[in-house]
Structure 1
């Protein structure tokens, strides 16, 4: 069986998993490794300052919990040598996950790590620095012994490398995993029967690349434009991808695809290489040039690690960006902060602008009228899906700006023999220009609300009976209107309700989500331990999980922004 796709995915995921960024850096990026990376690379990620990998592993130890390897061992016995090789790597990591010193020593890594991932056309290349090459090779010798997959020692331009065959011996096409070490740097890449040796020499850093990224200002421009720290950056270049599929020689990937098409006797992208498709697709790509990843802040110590990063889908199309920004609604300020909370969810959506905004996007996607056949087909399909009809559907909830759910705390009880909700401090909010109007409208659909009389700033109404909670759940729920917010709360959620009542509506975001995994899992772990029952294996792995996570989606002036922040703490 050909394992080309599987092997390529493993290498790419492995490379991405090692991309981390370090502390503060100089104002300008001057990194000698960039001289070996072409400016037309399709994908790129790098850390420009040493990342304190040992401290990070200690602070994140609670998140490195894995199930026993029994099931993996069963899979291992029935796997091929190539599959066992990667399974062996994973097994070896799991066995050392709680021992950072041992893990790093066995891999030959130091206390800090620098790494780079990029592509030479379609060829992925991953590089990282090591401290002890002998330990690194001994680690792979053990993997070979465990899996049965042996390397062949080969040379190119006088440099040695290990080649692991990833395809079956009798496959017509050959794919090899290449691992080499030179001057304290390890290179992991692929080699196939389609590759020329010159490409492998470039991947191993033996020969220079044409037009290296070091001779451009690309990296610094992206960092400056998005306000990232200088310590790490990643991107996918949409323009280079479009050039590759609409031409035969515009970049390294285009040339590789052309050679592959000649060998296959057909070109799957032939339709896109007309002058119309080249022009129109490049125009679209130039409007959405890159997806960029960078760090807003990073703090690493043995006790605590905190990462705040953003993924920006860049856009130069101000019409679409402006339309999407009109959809932004209201998200409470406390929904974007996890201190003193278990869980927080906020969805900001200006319902009044939804249909108009989507219509503007729809109209922009149909302008101009494309001549490229695939784009014509896309426009034809869009023409029958006019979002203006949404206006009729959203008319029932006019003025709505967003909803949120915040859980500050919860307790479970085992008094009935089963885990039961014994306490809940939570708040659900619906923010709108006239929440009282929405309540009165809802009375026509929910007769139980007929006797509920709510006024802004008035007394909260106890609606526990309307919720029809199970008798064992001893909670009291209240409904109130405070300012421009309809609020349903329990327990100490009233304090948040009072805070929200003072916040005026503003279009400040689209989506936010946060969770404190320790607080989220602790009551469940406690009630199971009190019951004397065996802890489920999945929960056993997570019970000491000491991590908080926050993410948000928004529309900025430079594109669509997905922001995430994660904090892990070492066990006390």
Structure 2
């Protein structure tokens, strides 16, 4: 049962983290009020408040990348799994309810009555997670909990904490190892946590934010220090304190995590951590982790319209490690980072000349460290058998290379030919010494069939031996070998000759999700049909992938680098503004099943979808009607729900009509040029129907 509690906590915490990443925790509000209730030695904290404009933009964004049938199957497994005690049924019911209403951000917020415009926080009080979040409607918030209580038979208890009452649910029967879910709602803020058997009254009041800790996160100044050091604003600050976590596990009495965790370790294993791991190992492991003490994250400036900039940093405190990692930094070509100008951009910065020296220095630093812990000594011995000097073979062939970039600006696939009708791309390699790479290329069968000029001119290369009519342009522009085709690529090539090889990072990625979805839609039907996954047909997989991409942010760019602070990743997100065009399903349609045949399909009946919310479906062969049903329909977001009123069927025209099972269903509405498509998700798998106006 406890694993389901843990799973539920992970869903909520992961949802909070994803909400920050996708822009929910934006400008507005101050974390100071929440941080005043957070213990200063917490190992994890995420706090901020949501920007209302971004909340509205993100309402229809999927939170869980699973289909309705997969979600239903998972929920059914939850209900059938594990012990059948009231507490187990209660935990499973709550988790199933959470999963059911986490399809999009909007469904989650509406179902639980959350108010993301107010300050909120997720943190650890020692071993126990605490969630504090705004609530717009207390009745809406309590309804799922009351329903879980009624369905499971586990009643809540009003627990008195001094002058305040908190609702609790006992999640296990053992009094000496008791765990209670505890929830309090006051002044529009819900505080959700757990009480464990070792808690006294003071610990419970602290966890329910009734009292302030002796020293809080607000008092310690850690949030302000993180914001100042890494250029983060107050709209969102997050961290996982890895060193504090390690000390809590390995050093009894070191912090509040240790005070709560070590009695559990002793009770569960019969041995203390001192008996399980010798002092040298505990000390040396803590010392290693202290060299990367925190993972911090947050927004790097006020959210503006639909744009969000954020940063995460894995702190590195070992100067020698930072110095050698910094030597690996290379040059990421500028064109690969232009998020607005392309479908996909990939960049790699790696100084090949420093690859072997830097990795050898890191290797020596670990293998020659003075460890007495047997496990670390064993790891040293294994590492000593794998020398980075072997990389010298590769490094010699790419001498002078410092990076590469790929930009896909446009791609128009042909429905009949093996090569695209149009392609616009640029592949560039940043190198101060192109000769070794070109010599390596010329030694291959492919390279012997082409010739890249080295005098600064650009040459069209005939690749008809790869595919009829295919060609690209290639040459050396400044310090870059370029292979390209297309107008936008030519514009980038015109600039790249003046681009230096200054080190500017480790890697980058840019994606324009709507344009990538357009590309998926272009996949020719014969090729799409081959995308069979074993559980979905290729036609269904194509549609699902396209819809998943369209549901994401408009575009996103990542850039990773090493600096004196550590390993830094900056993210630039630009959300698609405006809602996708709504689909009006009203009309008379020929229904074509395109589940197995993406282009032509198979006629599957006729349907009348009326404006008053009713509809009628008929399936007929060449002679007569064989199935009829009447139903009510409604639309929520992009999902059409169909509730069958009555149905009848017969196997042949000579037979009398007989009542048929009235089944309910729902489908994802998908735009198309002629009518619309509906992706049904039933017990027998997914079905893709095309509704073509009569």
Distance 2:27 2:9 in 1: 31
Contact kept? 1:424, 1:475, Cα under 8 Å:
no
Q: Which residue number in structure 1 is paired with residue 335 of structure 2?
A: 334
Question: What is the TM-score of this pair, normalised by structure 1?
Answer: 0.86
* Deviation (angstroms), 1:106: 4.8
Between 1:336-345 and 1:442-451, the stretch displaced more is 442-451
Would you say 1:569 and 2:565 are equivalent positions?
A: no
Q: Which residue number in structure 1 is paired with residue 387 of structure 2?
A: 386
Distance 2:333 2:119 in 1: 39
Give the structure with the higher percent strand: 2
Would you say 1:449 and 2:448 are equivalent positions?
A: yes
> Residue 40 of structure 1: SS of its match in structure 2?
coil
* Deviation (angstroms), 1:386: 2.7
* Deviation (angstroms), 1:224: 0.9
Distance 1:352 1:189 in 2: 53
> Residue 135 of structure 1: SS of its match in structure 2?
helix
Q: Which residue number in structure 1 is paired with residue 271 of structure 2?
A: 266
Would you say 1:551 and 2:558 are equivalent positions?
A: yes
Distance 2:143 2:317 in 1: 50
Would you say 1:60 and 2:67 are equivalent positions?
A: no
Distance 2:159 2:137 in 1: 22
For residue 137 of structure 2, the aligned residue among 113, 132, 136 is 132
Q: Which residue number in structure 2 is paired with residue 107 of structure 1?
A: 112
Contact kept? 1:238, 1:285, Cα under 8 Å:
yes
Between 1:65-74 and 1:113-122, the stretch displaced more is 65-74
Describe how 1:401-416 pairs up with structure 2 within 5 A: 401-415=402-416
How well do the aligned residues superpose, as a CA RMSD in angstroms?
A: 3.2
Q: Which residue number in structure 1 is paired with residue 221 of structure 2?
A: 217
Q: Which residue number in structure 1 is paired with residue 230 of structure 2?
A: 226
Deviations 1:210-264 (A, max 9, x none): 3222221211111111111132211111221222233211111112222123323
Q: Which residue number in structure 2 is paired with residue 525 of structure 1?
A: 521
> Residue 36 of structure 1: SS of its match in structure 2?
coil
> Residue 421 of structure 2: SS of its match in structure 1?
strand
Relative distance call for 1:118 and 1:448 in structure 2 (3 A) is: closer
Relative distance call for 1:8 and 1:299 in structure 2 (3 A) is: closer
For residue 88 of structure 1, the aligned residue among 93, 97, 103 is 97
Between 1:365-374 and 1:559-568, the stretch displaced more is 365-374
* Deviation (angstroms), 1:38: 1.2
Q: Which residue number in structure 2 is paired with residue 515 of structure 1?
A: 511
Relative distance call for 1:15 and 1:496 in structure 2 (3 A) is: closer
* Deviation (angstroms), 1:2: 4.7
* Deviation (angstroms), 1:484: 1.6
Contact kept? 1:412, 1:524, Cα under 8 Å:
no
> Residue 195 of structure 2: SS of its match in structure 1?
strand
Give the structure with the higher percent helix: 1
> Residue 501 of structure 2: SS of its match in structure 1?
coil
Structure 2 unaligned blocks of 5 or more: 80-88, 530-538, 580-694
Relative distance call for 1:185 and 1:524 in structure 2 (3 A) is: same
* Deviation (angstroms), 1:381: 2.6
Contact kept? 2:26, 2:299, Cα under 8 Å:
no
Q: Which residue number in structure 2 is paired with residue 539 of structure 1?
A: 546
> Residue 360 of structure 2: SS of its match in structure 1?
helix
Would you say 1:425 and 2:424 are equivalent positions?
A: yes
Q: Which residue number in structure 1 is paired with residue 435 of structure 2?
A: 436
Contact kept? 1:245, 1:272, Cα under 8 Å:
no
* Deviation (angstroms), 1:78: 4.0
Deviations 1:21-52 (A, max 9, x none): 33277xxx7823323211111111111xx422
Contact kept? 2:8, 2:95, Cα under 8 Å:
no
Distance 2:347 2:443 in 1: 27
Distance 1:544 1:291 in 2: 29
Would you say 1:476 and 2:477 are equivalent positions?
A: no
Relative distance call for 1:111 and 1:243 in structure 2 (3 A) is: closer
Relative distance call for 1:260 and 1:75 in structure 2 (3 A) is: closer
For residue 283 of structure 1, the aligned residue among 284, 287, 296 is 287
Relative distance call for 1:366 and 1:103 in structure 2 (3 A) is: closer
Distance 1:450 1:255 in 2: 70
Q: Which residue number in structure 2 is paired with residue 494 of structure 1?
A: 490
Distance 2:317 2:552 in 1: 41
Contact kept? 2:345, 2:510, Cα under 8 Å:
yes
Distance 2:235 2:192 in 1: 22
* Deviation (angstroms), 1:138: 2.8
Q: Which residue number in structure 1 is paired with residue 480 of structure 2?
A: 485
Relative distance call for 1:538 and 1:430 in structure 2 (3 A) is: closer
Q: Which residue number in structure 2 is paired with residue 21 of structure 1?
A: 25
Distance 2:16 2:178 in 1: 22
Distance 1:350 1:118 in 2: 40
Structure 1 unaligned blocks of 5 or more: none
Question: What is the TM-score of this pair, normalised by structure 2?
Answer: 0.72
* Deviation (angstroms), 1:166: 5.3
Distance 1:527 1:373 in 2: 56
Contact kept? 1:18, 1:115, Cα under 8 Å:
no
Distance 1:259 1:421 in 2: 65
Contact kept? 1:294, 1:310, Cα under 8 Å:
yes
Distance 1:435 1:61 in 2: 50
The structure, 1 or 2, with the larger RCO (C-alpha pairs under 8 Å, 6+ apart) is 1
Distance 2:412 2:215 in 1: 61
Contact kept? 1:343, 1:407, Cα under 8 Å:
yes
Relative distance call for 1:281 and 1:459 in structure 2 (3 A) is: closer
Distance 2:244 2:486 in 1: 55
Relative distance call for 1:545 and 1:223 in structure 2 (3 A) is: closer
In terms of Rg, which structure is larger?
2
